[in-house]
Amino acid sequence: MPVKSLQIPTADGQADAFAAFPDGGGRHPGVLLYMDAFGLRPVLRDMARELAEHGYYVLVPNLFYRHGQAPVIDLPEHIGKEVRSTVFAQVMPLIETHTVERVLGDADAYLGFLTAQPEVSTGPVAVIGYCMGANAAMRTAADHPDQVAAVAGFHPSRLVTDAPDSPHRLVSKLTAEVHLGLAENDMTPEAVSELGQALDAAGVRYACEIYPGTVHGFTMADTDAFDLSALRRHWDELLPLLDRTLSR
């Protein structure tokens, strides 16, 4: 699968990104993939290529572009328990500056760029996110109901909070079908219930599932959290979602 490096114009500069898409030309449904907190790295390229093999054009932006091009911080090949605290100490300041206003402003730029690519077909797109990216994916789908037909989030962060703009308070704006794959420690039972009640009240078609035996980050093969069976389940849920919501 071809992988192309790109620069996306935004209100605050240029976001570096990469895209994976099928060989052989033609136009393909668009997918916007939001990274987890550790940023752009080989494991995300592999995931984008996997999606591209199934016929999608996958755009993966560097959400931390305001702090530099990826890799914004130095990462080991494997993010194990012995380095996790050190890595998080570098990542947390970047996360804290990635405000809701920045998420939404960037989403406008990313979706505009994605849908303008000659390899991307007309019609709705999907937005996928991991960890902090799942939060951004939900906000993007709620803010662009006319463009986003599917949203998926895996081991998400902070979907239910006390804030007036908590993602679970925005679901009435969704027209997308939703799949959320949670690790056992991602959300309290009370938060899961509150999220489900909000989605039910909004009439959203959704699945919100806890993947048994998993911890936060289970899809990421370069971390100690990785769970191969959970990653396979993630693909088993994600690919049918995209197939039934995106036109070819």
Given this model, what pLDDT does residue 68 score? 97
Domain range 3-245, its CATH number among 3.40.50.1820, 3.40.50.150, 3.40.50.1370, 3.40.800.20:
3.40.50.1820
The answer on pLDDT for 45 being more than 80 is yes
Instruction: For 206, list phi and psi in degrees, rounded to 5.
Output: -155, 165
Tokens of 159: 């979907």
Please, which residues have CB within 8 angstroms of residue 92's CB and are 6 or more apart in sequence?
none
Rounded to two decimals, the pTM is: 0.97
Mean pLDDT of the 131-147 span: 98
| Rounded Cα gap, residues 145 and 242, in angstroms | 16
**Residue 1 pLDDT level (bands cut at 50, 70, 90):** confident
Question: Pick from 156, 155, 157, 151: which is nearest to 227 by CA?
Answer: 155
Residue 237 CB partners (closer than 8 Å, separation 6+): 152, 179, 181, 207, 209
Cα distance between residue 211 and residue 198, in whole Å: 21
Across-strand partners of 153?
A: 129, 180
Q: Where are the domains of the chain?
A: 3-245
Measured distance between the N- and C-terminal CA atoms of the chain, rounded to whole angstroms: 18
How many other β-carbons are positioned within 10 Å of the β-carbon of residue 35? 24
159-202 per-position pLDDT tens digit: 999 999 999 999 999 999 999 999 999 999 999 999 999 999 99
β-pairing verdict for 30-34 and 125-130: parallel
Residues 142-154: what's their mean pLDDT? 98
Q: pLDDT tens digits for 77-128?
A: 999 999 999 999 999 999 999 999 999 999 999 999 999 999 999 999 999 9
Average pLDDT over residues 219-230: 98
- Model confidence at 32, pLDDT cuts 50, 70, 90, reads very high
Confidence of residue 217 (pLDDT cuts 50, 70, 90): very high
